[in-house]
Structure 1
Amino acid sequence: MTRLLFTLALLLVACSAAAQPWPEPDGSERPLSASAAVAALEAYAFPPRDEAGRTGVRTDALLIIHDDEVVYERYGGVTRADTPHLTWSISKSILATVLGVAYGEGRFSLDDPVAKYVAPFTAHPDIKLRDLLHWASGLDWQEDYEYAPLNSSVVAMLYTRGRGDMARYTAEHAVAGAPGTSYRYSSGDSTVLAAALKTMVGESAYADYPWTALFEPLGITSATWERDATGTFVGSSYAYMTARDLARVGLLMQHGGRWQGRPLLPKAWVDFNLTPFESVTPTDEAPGGHWWLNRRADGKPGPWPAAPADTFAALGHWGQALYVIPSAGLVIVRYGDDRDGSYDHNQLLKRVLNAVAGEGGK
């Protein structure tokens, strides 16, 4: 009898371990075999520096997870496996994932007016939460960066007159069009969502909510998230985490919102994130619900022709990227510092897919 119980216990442990998409503490590893495809990937992602120490593509971290196993991991410069890296606008997709937990808790509806949660938006009563998630608030926002700082709404929000209360600063923008109709990329929309979350969960719970709701359940231990002077998370830009911790967010999304066999995000939320937004004005982008997609609402090809149509990504300034390719079983984290615009998403995806395909399905 004792032997039978012991055998049953071993079977239960084995089944439990098999159900975990990312076994603790950091997942199993199965390095890619050396090949011409892997060499081509490395030549693109980590090119040699010239005599002045410069190079076109500068990769700080490249992590590839295939079928829930780490198959490639390399770091450059001062970045290491334990370095929390600035994610820039990947923060927007992290925020959307945190909001997904709140959505599953019944704290808001996509069609709720933003003004219900963010008082300055009483000036814009027709803007809904779903509009912010589609970057379609209709506000006259200028998402210019260092090449046009005097005209930039985002530079002013992050560093000058808007940094004291970023949501209020965003609400002070004029209306450019009807909300929910046209895509207009806006870091302001994202930071307003972070302010709305504060009302949804309450002031006392807010400071810890991204951790208790998402980071801790996923085993993320490296996360830092800066806040503005009112205590609102800078949902547009200022989350930091290691490559392996960011990969956990990608694995959650790859598995349809389930983590270690249990639902953490509602399926309806993931479906919303991954449904192309249909903008009435033309755009070369393919936005979903605060994620970037490789398929468009009009049926045209997506922005990364080398990758399958189900590819989606969280993207940030200077080449930060979290790619998820469910049909290929891939999650890819790429951190970098590409200020000259030489980095190309499609080129990296093509090389990763070739390198993994070269394993012959092993």
Structure 2
Amino acid sequence: MLTVSLAAQNPSNPAALDDGWTIAEPQAAGFDAAKLRGNFATMLSGEVNLHAVIVERHGRLVAEGYRTGRDKPQFTFLSRIVAFGPAVRHDTRSVGKSVIALLVGIAQAQGKLGPAGSAVLDFYPELADLATPALRKITVADLLTMGSGLAWRESGAGFPTDEDRLAWKKSQIRFVLGRPTVAEPSRRFNYNSGGTVVLADILERATHMPWTEFARTALFEPLGISDVEWVTDLRSRPMANSGLRLRPRDMAKLGRLVLNRGKWKERQVVPAAWIDEMLRPRLATGVEDTRYGYQWWTGSVNWQGRSLPWHAAWGNGSQRIFVIPDLDMTVVFTAGAYGDPQTVRQVQKYFQALVDSVAAQ
């Protein structure tokens, strides 16, 4: 039996923790409090395997709810029952990709990494044997937008996918960059976790430290995020593409960072210009009406008869960090619905319902 926590029953009163968040009453933050409370009750008492929902607006937590649910860690066949709450990390899966994009911007600002138009092969002189004219055209930006043109099958019928193979390949970079080129760079979106693994490796080469350490010192610590885990693959390597585990409240900090154009509190953590470039929609994804920027998704949501853009970090299982700049609002979802498109559609409906509960801009 799934249960709704006290926070879900009282979404105007998130837990008071010493983690950098201040709390606001829903009405003071511009919400219809009754509608917001009703949405939380619906979301966290239904059949959908939702684990947590967080709403923050104008830099303050407004609503927070958790419940016990079934979850399944990566590389396991058996699921387990977990009592989720404010202090429990959750698999964020591909939300880690969006974190890698933030790190690229930080490394550029520190003068450790060149422009996004830099050729990927320039970082890999040892792979000269792979250097076809087509591969030489691929840039860091092409990896960020998943528009490299490299052949890659992330999902669909048949095991293993290229993502599965990535987890046990000895030389991941050679495996990814050795794939055939099937399209011109920057022309076609093709979801590719391998590109994110290459980006993380480029960060490691550019910063001269493990990319996980760079993430800790350059991004997470400035945001007051300390409870972080990167799940490892079958060769004990941290997975940039799908291994990040965070508390939902810390996921919301990433959303607030983006809404503040790279600033947390009074500190500019990521350059504002990079946030703008990162969020700029580039390639159509073929998923509803969404487009892809630099490892961040973009779509639209209705609010009082207007279509407002959102940007999001997405992860398998319906892990979501939505930011709506026009409403200065972040919505976080975590769930255990891995590979379940029906839940993806339901979470989008929940997201719309939460936006509908905003009474004033």
Q: Considering the TM-score relative to the shorter chain, is it more than 0.5?
A: yes
Give the distance between the partners of 1:240 and 1:120, measured in 2 at CA.
32
For 1:48-197, list aligned pairs within 5 A: 48=46, 55=47, 57-77=48-68, 78-108=83-113, 109-118=115-124, 119-120=126-127, 122-123=130-131, 124-144=135-155, 148-150=157-159, 152-158=161-167, 161-162=168-169, 164-197=170-203
- Deviation of 1:206 after TM superposition, in Å, equals 3.9
Q: 1:5 corresponds to which residue?
A: none
Distance 1:247 1:25, change over 3 A: same
Matches within 5 A, 1:340-351: 340-343=340-343, 344=345, 345-351=347-353
Structure 1 residues 30, 154: CA separation in 2 closer, same or farther (over 3 Å shift)? same
Give how far 1:126 is off: 1.6
Counterpart AA for 2:159: L
Separation of aligned partners in 2, 1:305 and 1:151: 39
Matching residue of 1:13: none
Report the secondary structure of 2:334's partner residue: strand
Moved more, 227-236 or 207-216: 227-236
Match of 1:298 in 2: none
Give the counterpart letter for 1:93 in structure 2: S
Contact 1:91 1:237 in 2 (8 A): yes
Tell me if structure 2 keeps the 8 A contact 1:194–1:232.
Answer: no
- Say which one has the larger Rg: 1
Q: Read off the aligned partner of 1:72 and give its amino acid letter.
A: A
SS of the residue corresponding to residue 174 of structure 1 reads coil
Q: TM-score under structure 2 normalisation?
A: 0.80
Q: How far is the alpha carbon of 1:26 from its aligned partner?
A: 2.9
Contact in 2 for aligned 1:91/1:238 (Cα 8 Å): yes
Corresponding residue number in structure 1 for 2:251: 246
Q: How far 1:134 moved relative to its partner? A: 0.5
Residue 333 (structure 2) pairs with residue 334 (structure 1): yes
**Cα separation, 1, equivalents of 2:239 and 2:174:** 13
Question: CA distance change for structure 1 residues 308 and 250 in 2, over 3 Å: closer, same or farther?
Answer: farther
Distance 1:42 1:259 in 2: 27
The superposition leaves residues 262-294 of structure 1 with CA deviations (integer Å, 9 ceiling, x where unpaired) of 322112211111111146x97743111110012
What is the CA distance between 1:249 and its match in structure 2? 1.0
| Distance in structure 1 (CA, Å) of the matches to 2:174 and 2:302 | 40
Q: Distance in 2 between matches of 1:135 and 1:167?
A: 16
Structure 1 residue runs of 4 or more that deviate by more than 6 Å after TM superposition: none
Name the CA distance, whole Å, in 2 between partners of 1:91 and 1:135: 15
2:11 is matched with none
Contact 1:165 1:229 in 2 (8 A): no
Match of 1:289 in 2: 294
**Are the structure 2 counterparts of residues 180 and 330 from structure 1 closer, same or farther at C-alpha, using a change threshold of 3 Å?**
same
2:44–2:66: 8 Å Cα contact kept in structure 1?
no
Give the 3-state SS of the residue equivalent to 1:240 in structure 2. strand
- What secondary structure does 1:195 align onto? helix
Identity, in percent, stands at: 25
Q: Report the secondary structure of 1:309's partner residue.
A: strand
Q: Map Cα deviations across residues 94-139 of structure 1 (whole Å, 9 max, x no partner).
A: 1111222111112221111111224448532221000000001101
1:80/1:43 Cα in 2 relative to 1: closer, same or farther (>3 Å)? closer
**Secondary structure, counterpart of 1:72 in structure 2:** strand
Q: Distance in 1 between matches of 2:199 and 2:224?
A: 24
- Per-residue deviation, 1:198: 1.0
Pairs aligned (count): 315
Deviation at 1:150, TM superposition (A): 2.0
Task: For residue 154 of structure 1, report the CA deviation from its aligned partner.
Answer: 1.1
Residue 142 and residue 243 in structure 1: after superposition, are their counterparts in 2 closer, same or farther (change >3 A)? Answer: same
| Cα deviations by residue, 1:21-62 (Å, 9 ceiling, x for unpaired) | xx96331112437855224412442234xxxxxx2x111111
The runs of 5 or more residues in structure 2 that have no matched partner are 1-16, 69-82
Structure 1: stretches of 5+ with no match in the other structure: 1-22, 49-54, 295-301
Deviation at 1:309, TM superposition (A): 2.8
Q: In the alignment, what sits opposite 1:354? A: 356
**CA RMSD, 1 decimal:** 2.5
Question: Secondary structure at 1:235's aligned position in 2?
Answer: coil
Q: Quickly say closer, same or farther: Cα 1:190–1:260, change in 2 above 3 A.
A: same
Offset of residue 353 of structure 1: 1.6
Q: Indicate yes or no: 2:23 matched with 1:29.
A: yes
- Contact 2:201 2:211 survives alignment (8 Å): no
Aligned-partner residue type, residue 26 of structure 2: L
